[in-house]
A and B are shown apart, each in its own frame.
Chain A
Amino acid sequence: MQAAIFEERQNQIHRKGDKPFAIECDKDSLAGAVSQRACVFCGSRVVLYPIADALHLVHGPIGCAVYTWDIRGALSSGPELHRLSFSTDLQETDVIFGGEKKLYAALGELIDRHQPKAAFVYSTCIVGIIGDDLEAVCKKVSAEKGIPVLPVQSEGFKGNKRAGYRAACKAMNRLVGTGDTTGISPYSLNILGDFNLAGEIWLIREYFNKMGVEVVANITGDGRIDDIKRAHGAALNVVQCSGSTMELAGMMERDYGIPSLRVSYFGVEDMAESLYAVARFFKDPEMMRRTQELVKEELATLLPELAEYKKALTGKKAAIYVGGAFKAFSLVKAFRLIGMDVVMVGSQTGTNADYEELQSITDEGTIIVDDSNPLELSAFLQEKEVDIFVGGVKERPIAYKLGVAFCDHNHERKEMLAGFAGMLNFAREVYSSVMSPVWRFVPRKTKENCHD
């Protein structure tokens, strides 16, 4: 096992119960370690991607734009401009003489063609080096075209994914406060950090609607520029995936005095608690009663169905490796609800507080890991004899190659996993991978069977 871990990374891995809790995190990835992380640009692109009526122009050579073309399952109920991939496709001469001219022309061309409500211009590594003045170009185009044109300072090398989240939040914060807030209910909120994968945000909106709360802006899922502009009229921000959008909530609290709540829509406990927290915030007994009613109704149909899955899955072992640690909290609880044990849990971008929370909710012996890599992940899967691994596209082949079941819980997924209905889908996803007969034929199991 030790062979799989770089000396420099030993403090980024903790085994619960081994020694007092301590973990290093929020560091630059170790060179040569094949981190599962992407870069600053990725962080920005993730957060802004679902704003569906904006133009997302990637200023740089083609790679950054082409690898993020329609890669996410973030749905829109209307325009789908976010599903197109726009690039200035910088060439050698642009690198030598500067890319500002091309950027200016490309912006004009694309804004005329698509008539977006706003444009985000992402800076990539090379732009940071050649020193294009994004701010100036954006300002000029904005004045000419009469829409907000916002630079996103997302040069890949300037930190890790978290820095990209910050850049995205800064860009969005420039929009907030520029719209008309008349007519917004005192019982109102913005949804931050849900990306409307497979339409999840529509489900969450419906819950809030039933509670009697108006949703002003679903900022990061099925997002619209005009909604974001008037988001400062809401009474509350509810923030999921706090790593990515807590910063925006912070800015809105500072500038407009809007408080925020951290929530999670994954798993029964966290979903219910999130709704209750909102009801408690508004201090309205009627609303609380409606919320209780809603939860009761949902659980009445959900729990019996979950019980069936639990029967089959109890005692199976799960490993989790996701982008943000907040999702991992909910997943630990969700697995417990269906009788499964989490034996490894990690994230790309967790903070110290996140990992402390993870260690407090997991069992003895659970491996907690920050910014992991295939070397470690494959070793952990084998050591812990894991039955299912939860992660994204880059984790999937590691699991499959070893004959381990897999559940995709990343932005590429096409299954709705949030909300009460999402919990059932999650159980079904886990069940349909873990219980597949194919595992009986892979080397891992055929070997086990030989020992029997």
Chain B
Amino acid sequence: MTKMLPPRYLSTTNACKLCKPLGACLAFRGIEGAIPFLHGSQGCATYMRRYIISHFNEPIDIASSSLGEKNAIFGGGPNLKLGLTNVTAKYKPALIGLATTCLTETIGDDVPTILSEHRRERGENSATDPLVVQVSTPSYSGTHMEGFHAAVLATVEQLAQGGPKADSLNLFSGFVSTADLRYLKEVMADFGLNATILPDYSETLDGPALLEYQLIPQGGTPIAAIRAMGRAQATIECGATLPAKTGGTYLAETFQVPNQRLGLPMGIRESDRFFAALEKLSGAPMPDKYGQTRGRLLDSLVDGHKYVFGKRAVVYGEEDLVVGLTAFLVEIGVQPVLCGSGGQSGRLKEAIRAVCGDLLQDLPEIHEGVDFFEIEERAAQLRPDLLVGHSKGYALSRKAGIPLVRVGFPIHDRLGGQRILHLGYQGAQQLFDTIANTLIAAKQDGSDVGYSYM
């Protein structure tokens, strides 16, 4: 059945996406000893810091080449070099993750050439200078997710090396929460797998209270481990709408590391696939504790199924996340009526069709490149019971009186966005409890009686 698609607008109102360099900064933040560096005007770095801080409640320093008018005319090379020298002197990073912006892409700065000039000019100093991983992220093509994946790919391309096979596994888990990353590390350890997760910002964007300020916080994927990615036994990369060329495909082509693509392990079936892959790779059965968690999840789904069945949901956010959420929602009997993203991978529809499988007769409306103005227009028609997505849907939630279940990034209007667990059976459990309780609360609050039992 074909759905009527809404009219498309030329302008964007309340975007459901962020810009490309932001994704690159987040990825670089997940490398041990690294500092993200934006080649552009000062505002980009500052705005993105502010945006990221408001979710994680953590410091995030992003250096900038702080281009001025003269640099924009005569080239940003001198400022880039000065910036690299300065950030090296004060932050003493092991690695600088250098991303471009729309300004420097448009004035045509040739970053690789500037970098090799810089190395030459540094003379003896260059021996102890940090590594520089460089990625092109013009914000006029793609969203923060393309920036994130591009930074991961650039890191692998520029650092990974071949050699004798090591007893390790590569995991590109995508843009997940810090709680998700901690969970994945635990899973890997429990399977006895020596996994390199890239990027790993579980500590660098969610660290403990400190006595001394750390300019570059502890944690992150060790550079040595990234170098060894070319020697791994296998790669798993998560994301149902990944670009054609990624860290995983690069390692497969260059170093013949077998690459397996899976969706984000969200809900029952996608988690089952993920754990099955780990069983195969480790040669060990899933540890009992995960079986137990899965069992408790199923038990709770039975307990709560009536409260969620047939409820209509609008799901929005990054494409991979939307696919994962949709996979789970259809498993619990929630009817997704709109799946939307500001991203435009061209793969969203197919991915959603695949995860819904035979659980859904009618596919929901699926919109790539959507903004919140359009989502709101469609929501007025579709009359959902629930919104599932990041906190930028709050305006719609408030206006239309539809409850919002907050997941993903950013969560700017609640504490603990970084601690939301989305992945695995345990993440599904938390999602289920939150969704069911949100719906129960809406019914209870809207009731004349106010029953004190469900």
Contact = CB atoms under 8 A, between A and B. Distances in A.
Interface of A: 3-4, 6, 8, 28-42, 57, 60-71, 83-92, 94-95, 102, 105-106, 109-110, 125-126, 128-130, 156-160, 374-375, 378-379, 381-382, 393-394, 396-398, 400-403, 442-444, 447
A63 B47 contact: yes
B11 A397 contact: no
B212 interface: yes
A92 B140 contact: yes
26 contacts: A6-B86, A28-B66, A31-B79, A32-B87, A35-B64, A61-B138, A62-B12, A62-B139, A64-B43, A67-B18, A69-B15, A71-B50, A85-B13, A87-B11, A87-B12, A94-B140, A95-B138, A109-B10, A125-B72, A126-B102, A375-B215, A398-B213, A401-B207, A402-B210, A403-B209, A403-B211
B66 A89 contact: no
Contacts, number: 239
A213 to B, nearest CB: 36
Interface stretch (B54-62, B110-118, B278-286, B332-340): B54-62
Contacts of A6: 86, 89-90
Contacts of B64: 29, 31-32, 34-35
Contacts of A157: 40-41, 67-69, 71-72, 103
Interface string B4-20: 00000111111101110
Contacts of B51: 67
A126 B102 CA distance: 6
B53 A159 contact: no
A67 B48 contact: yes
B430 interface: no
Nearest to A438: B209
Contacts of B86: 6, 8, 30-33
A156 B11 contact: no
B241 to A, nearest CB: 19
Nearest to A446: B211
B351 interface: no
Interface string B125-151: 000000000000011110100000000
Given A4-B90, A30-B66, A36-B46, A110 B11 contact: yes
Contacts of A158: 68-69, 72
B84 interface: yes
Interface in B77-108: 79-80, 82-91, 101-103, 106-107
A38 B48 CA distance: 10
Contact of B11 (A66, A83, A88): A88
B26 interface: no
A112 to B, nearest CB: 11
Interface in B27-42: 37, 40-42
Contacts of B90: 3-4, 6, 32-33, 375
B47 A38 contact: yes
A38 B46 contact: yes
B415 to A, nearest CB: 12
Contact of B42 (A4, A39, A92, A94): A39
A394 B211 CA distance: 19
Contacts of B45: 34
Given A60-B102, A86-B12, A402-B210, A397 B395 contact: no
A39 B215 contact: no
A64 B22 CA distance: 12
B139 A63 contact: yes
A34 B210 contact: no
Nearest to A371: B42
